[in-house]
Amino acid sequence: MIRLLPFLLFCTCMLWASPRHTNALIHEDSPYLRMHAHNPVDWYPYGDEAFAKARREKRLIFLSIGFSTCHWCHVMEQESFENPRIAALLNRDYVSIKVDKEEMPQIDTYYQVRFSKLQHRRNGWPLTILMTPEREILFMGTYIPDTARYGVEGLETLLPRFAKMHRLDPAAERKMVAENLAKIASAPKRDTLTAEDGNISQRYVAKMWKRFDKIYKGFDRRPHFPMASNLMLLLEIYGLDGDPRAFRMADETLTAMALGGIYDQVEGGFFRYATDPDWVVPHFEKMLYTNAELLQVYIRAWLLTHNARYKRVVQETIAHYHKKLEAHGLFYAATDADSMGEEGGYFTYRYARVKKALQKRGFPDEEIEVLLEYYDITDPGNFKEDRSNVQRNTGFDAAPEHADAVLKILRDLRKARKYPFRDKKLITSWNAMMVKTLLQASVIDPHYLQEGLMSLRALLRRNMREGSLWHYTIGDAKPTKRALLEDYAFLVDALIEAYEQSYETDYLTLATKLADEAKARFYDGKEWYINSGTPRVRTRYLDKYYTTPLARMLDDQLRLSAMTYDLKRFAETKKMIAHEKGNILQAFDMAPHALHLLLRLEYGDILLKATREKLLARKRRIAAIKYPYLLTKVEKNPLWLLCDMQSCFFYDRNLTKVIEKIAHQKGVVNNEEIKELKKWGK
């Protein structure tokens, strides 16, 4: 019996540690879905089984959409989905369905669009939807507490109220469905451009100037999103006509973010957005797409300004991703905002703890106070209670002498902390964005070229299997989700960039093949779709948290047309853009990359052609050319050639003269800038 005691104790501990509940999400690949596998809610993944159950049992549907690094998704889980009382209400009256928006962006887009039209306000996550067994929308919300607070009805009364209506008052339910359908069908009017409005780029700059925060920089004070595609378009317009407002908005916003709390000053990388107008307090998620697209803007800004701060941001962020978020040569999707039981726990600091660490290193108290002030680490804290998020104090003319040493100490303090949860999905589209970033960063440091090409090869090897492209892979699991339009669009974009950085023709050949495959899968008549399955969801021209796949794919098609002299592809793509033009102009400030397409067609692509050796030797100088619609291609000719879709219109042995020709032909630089060009030499 005595010998049995250790065994019995072990069994008791194992039973104690075992989860009390397990639902159908336990078999899913998605880290987000598996997070909910032991909730007392009887969750189902999105699919036929759940919808058939709802129809068969005549139960309402509770649809919840989120992602693994979403702070308010975690809050709602802790308050409601781990709450036995709320779980009992859901299990009694509803079929509960969980969706990972990163795994199924087409489903997320479908319902986010309907939420915006129904509620006339910003959408987001978590997204909460109550539907009839036939999937007709009754109610849509975002975060909902378990009990009423913040002026929001809680789930404990909301769920029974709709369940009672479903059981006892079908007429009221049908009326509610009809009213919601009518609201969704009537979209609000926006500030609209027409073809008669003329200079689209200047109208865009004027609209963004009205939205620009002249004090704190950026656009739309709360929440404060980086808006990479808007910033890139402003730099593009500056390259077209030298508009000082366009440059000022982009440059000052990039500077404010690089110095602010939205940027991780200690380890590098941008958080998803700031909750305040002055960029101090972020939501601490780090999304791969946010960082990849922002770094492309910083690289472009560095080429135009040679601002060392911009270069530092690019180098630090890439180094951080290699160190903390790389696997199999690719990069994880995201990191969580929460760690050590609280939001920002890993990233923020207590004044007393940092001061003590600096004293141990022998810094005098007077210098410590200056250094802490520079990094905005204060006793009351700038985040909450006595915790501070590190930023650089703009009141200093220059960084204090030992500022870099303080960063090392702050990094050492983090080593004792648990790093936030990492969503280990290797998403094709987001990794393609980062591949492009690495390739473009080769103008800062040539070694990034090989890093980018290695990541591209890893992406193709891992996510293009058995003749198919997949949306993501995770660990050693076999991929199950076929690629979406965004995966094709951003991968083709990366392949075109790989050709222009290496001039290896295989990349251009594969880009052409995948662009054709995307058109066959996702284009039907006059419409592009996010996915090829059901429900088939139309893609949108609006840039949201990253560039819309629709505009990216059409941009890919335009560039491939010019680089391969494919007049048929060009004519078809031009027609597709014309079909979207009315939609683009209805919300031109919200669709910067789509507006880019209209400007690209208006101004026209220029092909700069030369031998591979000459193009590679002058890479940085070519990248610094202001005209934004410049493509490069290898030509076995000792001269530098300028060509368009129809002909080559200029040639010379001197690159400076070629650049001057671009400037004069397109009117993009003035005489002072031409003098600057000549300093580069031939």
Query: Residue 650: which CATH number?
Result: 3.40.30
Provide mean pLDDT across the span 1-5: 52
pLDDT at 117: 86
Angle between helices 228-241 and 592-603 (to 10 degrees): 20
Residue 225 in this model has a pLDDT that exceeds 70? yes
Q: State yes or no: pLDDT of 184 exceeds 60.
A: yes
CATH number at residue 90: 3.40.30.10
Asked whether the predicted pLDDT for residue 452 surpasses 80, the reply is yes
- Return the SS3 of 626: coil
pTM: 0.87
Would you state the pLDDT for residue 466?
86
Strand partners, 45: 98
Would you say residue 262 lies in a domain?
no
**Per-residue confidence at 669, pLDDT binned at 50, 70, 90?**
very low
Q: CA-to-CA distance for 290 and 294, rounded, in angstroms? A: 6
- When pLDDT is cut at 50, 70 and 90, the band that residue 337 belongs to is confident
Please tell me whether residue 394 adopts helix, strand or coil conformation. Answer: coil
Token pair belonging to 372:
């802490």
Amino acid at 616: L
Asked if 345 contacts 417 with a C-beta cutoff of 8 angstroms, the reply is yes
- pLDDT the model gives residue 158: 95
Interval 355-370: pLDDT, tens: 999 999 999 999 999 9
Compute the C-alpha angle 381/339/86, nearest 5°. Answer: 110
CA 158 and chain centroid, separation:
33
CA 215 to chain centre: 26
How many Å apart are CA 310 and CA 253, to the nearest integer? 12
The H or E element spanning position 190 is none
Q: Would you give the DSSP letter of residue 478?
A: P
- Residue 654 within any structural domain of the chain: yes
Whether the predicted pLDDT of 121 surpasses 80: no
In a domain, 628, yes or no: yes
Residue 294 lies in a domain: no
The reply to whether 497 falls in a domain is: no
Among the three residues 387, 415, 443, which one is the final residue of a domain in this structure? 415
546 pLDDT higher than 70: yes
Query: Which are the contacts of 224, defined by CB distance < 8 A and separation ≥ 6?
Result: 216, 218, 262, 273, 274, 275, 276, 277, 279
Structure tokens at 504: 């290896």
CA 601 from centre of chain: 26
Place of tokens 């890919």: 556
Mean pLDDT of the chain: 90
Phi, psi angle pair for 183, to nearest 5°: -65, -40
Residue 670 burial (CB < 10 Å; 0-12/13-18/19+)? Answer: exposed
Do residues 387 and 351 make contact, with C-beta atoms less than 8 angstroms apart? Answer: no
Whether the predicted pLDDT of 198 surpasses 90:
no
pLDDT band at 18, cuts 50/70/90? Answer: low
Q: Kindly report whether the peptide bond that precedes residue 84 is cis, defined as omega within 30 degrees of 0.
A: no
- 459 is a domain residue: no
123 or 259, greater pLDDT: 259
pLDDT higher than 80, residue 395: yes
The answer to whether position 584 is within a domain reads no
% residues pLDDT > 90 (the chain): 76
- Write out pLDDT tens, residues 465-508: 988 999 999 998 999 999 999 999 999 999 999 999 999 999 99
**Residue 164 resides in a domain:** yes
pLDDT band at 63, cuts 50/70/90?
very high
Examine the fold and report which residue of 167, 185, 203 is the final residue of a domain before the chain moves on: 185
pLDDT band at 677 (very low <50, low <70, confident <90, very high): very low
**Count of domains observed in the chain:** 3
Q: Which long-range contacts (CB under 8 A, 24 or more apart) does 474-478 make?
A: 474/29, 474/30, 474/31, 474/424, 474/425, 474/426, 475/424, 477/29
**Can you give the pLDDT at residue 680?**
39
The band of 632, judged by pLDDT with boundaries at 50, 70 and 90, is very high
pLDDT at 682: 36
Last residue of a domain, one of 166, 185, 204: 185
> Which domain range does residue 677 map to?
604-682
How many other CB atoms are there within 10 angstroms of residue 652's CB atom? 16
